[in-house]
Amino acid sequence: MPGRELHLHSMVVHAVIALAVVAALAFVADSAAWRVGFITAATWAFMWRAALVLQFLTALPATLSGLTERGHMYVNWHSSHRAKLALSLLLLAMTALELVALAAGRGAVASFSWLGFGVVVGNPVVCLALSFYGLRISLGRQAIARLSYVPDMALDPPVDILESAAAHVAERARVIEVMEAS
């Protein structure tokens, strides 16, 4: 079936970023003991812990698929690829340490602790940096300066690509016989 191939990496990374944001917001809500309707502090506590576990579980395939898909699309490791790999491994390590601290700890987590800083600030900042490099790779060069591309109609005189192509429509296809070429 013809069509575009799905890329696991492109689909999974969005979940990692969303879960980092959910964990951060739920941690803040848990720390402040917010009550929104039927959502109590216990719900917020469950939500940020579950988001942290899911973030780790989705970051694993996101990192692995990034490694395997990179090999199919790019010839060499650009500095953006190396930065993304380092940041991905950092996010995995940070999330793993946070989960180990949760498993070892008892009771409520202090608002101003290294764990709180990691969940509220560290993970989202690493995800933001990963997003920057991911967009830089997929969208090409990003800069404040103007790009070198000039639309055909902005040239002087304007160039209409359809007119240029129409001149070649009447030509017969050129077939080169490889075995007879000398």
What does the pLDDT look like over 146-176, one tens digit per residue? 545 556 666 677 777 777 777 777 767 677 7
Distance CA 22, CA 123 (A): 11
The pLDDT assigned to 1 comes to 42
The pLDDT assigned to 73 comes to 55
- Cβ-contact 152, 159 below 8 angstroms: yes
Most confident of 46-60, 134-148, 158-172: 46-60
The pLDDT assigned to 168 comes to 73
The residue-averaged pLDDT of 71-87 equals 74
Q: Between residues 70 and 60, which one has the greater pLDDT?
A: 60
Distance CA 52, CA 119 (A): 8
Residue 127, pLDDT above cutoff 80: yes
At 181, the amino acid letter reads A
The pLDDT assigned to 110 comes to 73
Alpha carbon 107 to its chain's center: 34
**For the chain, how far is it from start to end, CA to CA, in angstroms?**
39
Distance CA 136, CA 80 (A): 8
Q: Between residues 138 and 72, which one has the greater pLDDT?
A: 138
Q: Between residues 182 and 19, which one has the greater pLDDT?
A: 19
The pLDDT assigned to 79 comes to 79
Residue 138, pLDDT above cutoff 80: no
- CB atoms inside a 10 Å sphere around CB 93: 10
The pLDDT assigned to 71 comes to 59
Distance CA 161, CA 104 (A): 66
> Tens of pLDDT along 11-29?
888 899 999 999 999 998 8
Residue 104, pLDDT above cutoff 70: yes
Alpha carbon 150 to its chain's center: 29
Residue % of the chain over a pLDDT of 70: 78
Residue 107, pLDDT above cutoff 70: no
